[in-house]
Amino acid sequence: MQNNRQALADSAAENVITSTHLTVNAVNAFTEQVFHTRGGRIGSGMGSVIEALWGFHLNVILNSEKEIPYELGWIYGHEYNDFACILRNEDWDPETKDGELFRIEVKSMVASADESKAHFDRLQHEFAENELLAVFLWNWKTMNDQPKTIYPAILDYFVGYALPIAQLRDVLHLERGGSFIQKDHCPDGCAIQPCKHVGEPLNASGVRERRSGPQSSRGVGVSYAANFGGMLRMLGSRGKTGKEYLKTEYASDPTKARFIDFMARNFPRVARAIK
């Protein structure tokens, strides 16, 4: 039974990944038809709308195939804009994860901003093995027949397993001089080990990267650095070792390669880093 569940989760994840092209076309067709405006804003919350539209349109595609036993559910009361792939005919409890096959963390980036504000900063141990990451790059586009009117469109995307991307992020974090809190070495001197800070990232200056890091690692004038998992920064490498690592992983891990390709296609800085 457990093996059947695993096989179903694997094929569902594969289906979500390979259906993305169709789904993105459907989202763009919808926004081109309905989301017309003049003078579109950046930082408008449109990224969150696009993330949600992807989930709803994917659900339409999944639900059109009656033999498929799963669909997407939008997780409520969650810090992240996440979906869960859930079994269609079972009860779903987001607290216990009963009825779930896996989760999907969704991120969006707007192409016209200088620096991507999207953050992929959950720690490796916070991810389930088969969790997916979906990243959408979008921008306002001019309507073909109405040059003054624009609509938001997805330009490019990555959908794949999240854990390999977190591993890539963490190795490069270390390579740039950052660190992670180790058991029995918490700067807060927590009495019970392992404490809740184990695995929290610190930057090269020893400042905590997340609000949940140790109190004693706050920065001067800032509560935390908040650079960890920045979509562009996380692929930055300082020296030769980092570049070599990126190249080796690119050649050996298809998920990491697809992510690096996605970023390199859209950001010259990343393209230069893997040359």
Contact positions vs Zn ion (CB under 5 A): 186, 188, 190, 195, 197
Cβ neighbours of residue 88 closer than 8 Å, sequence gap 6 or more? 68, 69, 70, 71
Question: Minimum Å distance from CB 159 to Zn ion?
Answer: 35
The smaller minimum CB distance to Zn ion, of residues 172 and 181, is found at 181
Do you know the residue count of the chain? 275
Question: Minimum Å distance from CB 220 to Zn ion?
Answer: 21
Question: Minimum Å distance from CB 42 to Zn ion?
Answer: 38
Strands 132-142 and 150-161 come out as: antiparallel
Distances in Å between the alpha carbon of 192 and those of 27, 129, 200, 246? 49, 27, 16, 37
The smaller minimum CB distance to Zn ion, of residues 174 and 195, is found at 195
The smaller minimum CB distance to Zn ion, of residues 196 and 247, is found at 196
The smaller minimum CB distance to Zn ion, of residues 197 and 256, is found at 197
User: What tokens does 24 get?
Assistant: 């993105």
How far apart are the C-alpha atoms of 270 and 249, rounded to whole Å? 15
Question: Minimum Å distance from CB 84 to Zn ion?
Answer: 30
How far apart are the C-alpha atoms of 161 and 105, rounded to whole Å? 10
